[in-house]
Amino acid sequence: MLDINVKGLLYVSHAVIPLMQQQGRGHIINVGSIAGKEVYANGNVYCASKHAVDALSKAMRIDLIQTGIKVSEVNPGAVETEFSEVRFKGDKARAATVYQGYQPLTADDVADLIAFIVTRPAHVNLAEVMILPAAQASATVMNKDL
């Protein structure tokens, strides 16, 4: 989890930032999570990795302010992906229960938000955006009747 969520972000950033600096512009979109804003039981490593994404995004925004490179962070709540299957070690039935009783976000919902962020005028940066399904109030509070 740390390799993907933290080191992956660092390796990709290290590769693309010099190219953006040469052009004098660019936009980095880091995908965090609601877990990077608040912690929950049994999420210690995942929450820690997403808190690192939050800290890196803020620091990158500061470090790159003079370069013309914008840094944004998108923090989704419950998104129906294969992550639950991975989390429950391939148990599809158990993974499906995570999304029962409400309509979670989809990958397309998150992609639409990212497309919106990158199409803002040059003088606008949506620095941090949290996107949740209507049934979610926090990392652990869900209305499963929606």
Query: Helices marked H in 1-146 — which ranges?
Result: 2, 8-23, 44-63, 83-87, 92-97, 107-118
Q: Which of 50, 92, 102, 144 is catalytic?
A: 50
Q: Which of 46, 70, 99, 144 is catalytic?
A: 46
pTM for this one?
0.92
- Span 41-93, pLDDT tens digits: 999 999 999 999 999 999 999 999 999 999 999 999 999 988 788 878 888 88
Degrees to nearest 5, angle at CA 52 with 46 and 57: 130
Is 50 designated active site?
yes
pLDDT computed for residue 146 by the predictor: 67
- Span 8-26, pLDDT tens digits: 999 999 999 999 999 999 9
d(CA 144, CA 44) in angstroms, rounded, equals 24
Is 46 designated active site?
yes
List domains and CATH numbers for the chain: 2-131 (3.40.50.720)
Contact 55, 110 (CB under 8 A): no
